[in-house]
Amino acid sequence: MAVPFSPGPETSVWPELSALAQRLGSAAVGELFAQDKDRFGRLSRQSAGLLLDFSRQRIDGRALGKLCQLADAVQLRARIDAMWNGEHINTTEDRAVLHVALRQNAGDGIGGAAIEKTVLTERERMLAFAEGVRGGAIRGSKGQPFRLVVNIGIGGSDLGPAMAVQALHAFTQGAPGCEFVSNVDGVHLAQVLAGADPATTLFIVSSKTFTTLETLTNARTARAWLAGKLGEAAVPQHFAAVSVNQKAMDEFKVHPQYRFQMWDWVGGRYSVWSSIGVSLAIAVGRANFQAFLAGGHEIDEHFRSTPWPDNLPALMGLLAVWNINFLRLPTLAVLPYDDSLRRFPAYLQQLVMESNGKSVMLDGRPAQSETGPVVWGEPGNNAQHSFFQLLHQGTPRAALDFLLPARSSCGNQPQQNLAIASCLAQAEAFLHGQSAQVVREALLQQKVPPAQADALVPHKVDPGSRPSSIVLFRQTDPATLGRLIALYEHSVFTQGTVWGINSFDQWGVELGKRITEQFVPAVEDPGKNRGAPGTVLKLLEAVKAWRG
Ligand code: F6P
């Protein structure tokens, strides 16, 4: 059965939303609060341990209702069902998209009985291995427990586990240390190896395809290092791998019991829930990894069954569409007020931009509207002291997502209270700004001479009405992290459905990979420069001269 495809810009709801946006586009959001004493009640939702406050968005009840109509008009419900049923909604790769199957419980049957079985079996194998490494039952070639786990991967085979191990640092007591090496230049790997004891180091080569230049290069360097220190025979006991590519794992001589399966129906950026998360499972242990999956599953159930007006991921996605297409805000700044979430913006960059950075619709026609936003961000307090100036007074406009836990991630609640105060204060400042009149009065009260005050006023005015959402939660724990990731995953799917694009392929990254392969010989051996195009010949000559 063909999956319904109704791009938002071609629905009758789209021009109605445009008209509403014209009216709201010049409204002061602070005024909207003044007109509606229960604005927070109307424009916030709490579910599955997350409180989404979108009362600071430039929106009202009518526009919200219309956005929910848009979700119906683009047949979001049918597309969700198609995803869950394992239909090949990733049309350009002819693949199902079943990361939701990775978070299922026995009996759920997501993706069908065979997929449920393979997921649960592989999950159990992976968790048993992780527990073995964590507890010291699985040891290195010299019989010593592993003290260091080095995940070698990139993109979705790096960002998810790297972000999650960082975020859940408080849950990693007693586990080996985890490092995540990704870049091809070898700098990070060299630093990690310099401090590593080969006898107690386990490498995990994470690569869905097992063909990725960066990962295979680092894996070979690590392998040579280990073989050099402990001998070739030791290698299998120090290398695990996660991939769909069994043949490549054979060739790499990965220990048969230390290999974990991936499936083509899991996109790299959606794979932290699979065995790609083995480093996370080693770091936080079986129960916490299961809690992480359960958190994601909770949001899956919520997304699948909740009407749009109360559906957190759908609302988040629809608000993103509102900001991008109707209020013309092409970027999203993600601002966690918990340093343990410091890699979350980087994680979201791949999730959002690799998924929705498309300009062609499912049927091959050009997209009829702007699509995915540029995502960026930093932990909130750091950002306040670097780029918030631009957000407050600069000309480029961004939408903002504040991520705010009530409880400290390190047991230091007094300092977390300062982070909470900072976050709420910034949200308030972005909402109300400060008018020329307020600025002028403050200056005069400080006894600044009137002429000087008048000169300063325009520099100190803050226009306010910068749209933001706050995602408030109790604590950055495994279940909550699972919920947060699934929240954004389904928001991304909602947005992609509205734009009528395929959120699950990534053809744009292929060209650069291919050209890199062509250039490697010319860079390695300048004698082979003849194959390189004129556009880079002079640069190659300069490289040669400076490289020595
Ligand atoms: O180049 C982008 C990409 O294909 C991502 O989609 C993926 O997460 C990453 O490379 C790594 O791929 P692999 O897991 O196959 O090494």
Verify whether ligand 1 is closer than 6 Å to residue 151 (CB atom).
Answer: no
Verify whether ligand 1 is closer than 6 Å to residue 509 (CB atom).
Answer: yes
Specify whether 372 is located in the same domain as 494.
Answer: yes
Distances in whole angstroms, Cα of residue 42 to Cα of each of 239, 332, 401: 53, 23, 19
Q: What is the pLDDT of residue 1?
A: 54
Q: Is 322 within a domain?
A: yes
CB contact set of 519 (below 8 Å; sequence gap of 6+): 532, 536
Gap between the Cα atoms of 426 and 392, Å rounded: 10
Verify whether ligand 1 is closer than 6 Å to residue 154 (CB atom).
Answer: yes
Specify whether 112 is located in the same domain as 28.
Answer: no
Q: Is 80 within a domain?
A: no
Helix (H/G/I), strand (E/B), else coil: 217? helix
Verify whether ligand 1 is closer than 6 Å to residue 467 (CB atom).
Answer: no
Domain boundary among 261, 289, 317: 289
Taking CB atoms within 8 Å and a gap of at least 24, the contacts of 535-543 are none
- Are 226 and 235 in contact, with CB atoms under 8 Å apart? yes
Residue range 506-519, pLDDT digits in tens: 999 999 999 999 89
Specify whether 519 is located in the same domain as 492.
Answer: no
Specify whether 355 is located in the same domain as 280.
Answer: no
Domain with 520, as residue range(s), is: 510-547
Q: 212 C-alpha to center of ligand 1: Å? A: 7
Gap between the Cα atoms of 201 and 224, Å rounded: 14
Gap between the Cα atoms of 522 and 485, Å rounded: 41
Q: Is 85 within a domain?
A: no
Q: 268 C-alpha to center of ligand 1: Å? A: 6
Verify whether ligand 1 is closer than 6 Å to residue 243 (CB atom).
Answer: no
Domain boundary among 254, 289, 324: 289
Q: Which domain CATH number covers 359?
A: 3.40.50.10490
- Are 502 and 358 in contact, with CB atoms under 8 Å apart? yes
Verify whether ligand 1 is closer than 6 Å to residue 213 (CB atom).
Answer: no
Between vectors from CA 100 to CA 95 and to CA 105, what angle results, nearest 5°? 130
Q: 183 C-alpha to center of ligand 1: Å? A: 13
Verify whether ligand 1 is closer than 6 Å to residue 74 (CB atom).
Answer: no
Domain count, the chain: 3
Residues facing 468 on adjacent strands: 400
Q: What is the DSSP letter of 463?
A: -
Verify whether ligand 1 is closer than 6 Å to residue 157 (CB atom).
Answer: yes
Specify whether 106 is located in the same domain as 46.
Answer: no
- For atom 6 of ligand 1, the residue with the nearest CA is 268
State which ligand 1 atom lies nearest to the alpha carbon of 212.
Answer: 16
Gap between the Cα atoms of 169 and 411, Å rounded: 12
Q: 473 C-alpha to center of ligand 1: Å? A: 31
State which ligand 1 atom lies nearest to the alpha carbon of 262.
Answer: 14
Specify whether 56 is located in the same domain as 161.
Answer: no
Best of 154, 159, 184, 261 for a ligand 1 pocket test (most atoms within 8 Å of beta carbon): 154
Q: Is 490 within a domain?
A: yes
Gap between the Cα atoms of 111 and 122, Å rounded: 15
Q: What is the pLDDT of residue 530?
A: 66
Strand order in the sheet with 331-336: 44-47, 50-53, 468-473, 398-405, 331-336, 374-377
Specify whether 254 is located in the same domain as 274.
Answer: yes
Specify whether 164 is located in the same domain as 191.
Answer: yes
pLDDT tens over the chain, length 548 residues: 578 899 999 999 999 999 999 999 888 999 999 999 999 999 999 999 999 999 999 999 999 999 999 999 999 999 999 999 999 999 999 999 999 999 999 999 999 999 999 999 999 999 999 999 999 999 999 999 999 999 999 999 999 999 999 999 999 999 999 999 999 999 999 999 999 999 999 999 999 999 999 999 999 999 999 999 999 999 999 999 999 999 999 999 899 999 999 999 999 999 999 999 999 999 999 999 999 999 999 999 999 999 999 999 999 999 999 999 999 999 999 999 999 999 999 999 999 999 999 999 999 999 999 999 999 999 999 999 999 999 999 999 999 999 999 999 999 999 999 999 999 999 999 999 999 999 999 999 999 999 999 999 999 999 999 999 999 999 999 999 999 999 999 999 999 999 999 999 999 999 999 999 989 988 988 777 667 888 998 899 899 999 98
Q: Is 109 within a domain?
A: yes
Q: Is 1 within a domain?
A: no
Q: Are strands 239-243 and 259-261 parallel, antiparallel or unpaired?
A: parallel
Specify whether 138 is located in the same domain as 260.
Answer: yes
pTM for the model: 0.97
Specify whether 263 is located in the same domain as 371.
Answer: no
What is the per-residue burial (b if ≥16 Cβ within 10 Å, else e) of 5-23?
Answer: bbbbbebebbeebeebbee
Specify whether 164 is located in the same domain as 224.
Answer: yes
Dump the DSSP string for 141-179. Answer: TTSPBP-EEEEE--GGGTHHHHHHHHHTGGG-TTSPEEE
Best of 182, 260, 509 for a ligand 1 pocket test (most atoms within 8 Å of beta carbon): 509
Tell me which residues are annotated as active site: 354, 385, 513
Gap between the Cα atoms of 299 and 493, Å rounded: 13
Domain boundary among 289, 319, 343: 289
Q: Is 492 within a domain?
A: yes
- For atom 8 of ligand 1, the residue with the nearest CA is 156
Specify whether 324 is located in the same domain as 470.
Answer: yes
Q: Is 81 within a domain?
A: no
